[in-house]
Amino acid sequence: MAERLVRFGVAMEQSLLEEFDELVDARGGTRSEALRDLARAAVVRAKVGRPVPAVAALTLVYDHHVRDLTEKLNAVQHELGDEVRSTMHVHLDHHHCLEVIVMNGRSDRLRIVAARILAMRGVKHGGVEIITDVGPERHAHAHAQGHEHPPEPSKPSTRKRRRST
């Protein structure tokens, strides 16, 4: 069920509004959609500073010829255990690799781990996107791909069981 929308007025300088409208037009959306996106982003940024459930995508480009870097990256990921949900590794050229590490856990810990990895000698570029309010808890909805998550322990299952014949 969709949450109820509330209308409110916003005052801003005309020149800022004109520039904002250019961005809205380039996106192909509406002012309301753009303001909602900006508000969500500000709320998420504020929450990342607190220890709340979150997911993160850490992207880095590194020189795999730097001594022990690959081993250090693997060691950190093994230390994290189940907090690492997925990784993707791409060979860019003879020296450089791109790696994307998807993690979940507390936002403060994810930020610390990301900073630790990005500071390693041999990591050339990188960044992390931490998103709160989607946390490591299981979410209760069906996916287009057809998989479902197990029911939460405190709630009875509503899935129909197949009878064996």
Closest CA to 77 of 55, 56, 103, 42: 103
104: CB partners within 8 A, 6+ apart: 53, 54, 55, 56, 83, 85, 110, 135, 136
State the pLDDT at residue 119: 95
What is the Cα–Cα distance from 42 to 46, expressed in whole angstroms?
6
Spatial contact of 66 and 60, defined as CB atoms under 8 Å apart: no
Tens of each residue's pLDDT in the chain, 165 residues: 688 989 989 899 999 999 999 999 999 999 999 999 898 888 877 777 788 899 999 999 999 999 999 999 999 999 999 999 999 999 999 999 999 999 999 998 999 999 999 999 999 999 999 998 774 454 444 445 555 544 444 444 444 444 444
* pTM score above 0.85: no
The Cα–Cα gap between 68 and 50 comes to 33
Question: What pLDDT is attached to residue 163?
Answer: 46
Superfamily of domain 53-132, CATH level 4: ACT-like. Chain A, domain 2 (3.30.70.1150)
Q: What does the pLDDT read at residue 22? A: 93
Q: Where are the domains of the chain?
A: 14-48, 53-132
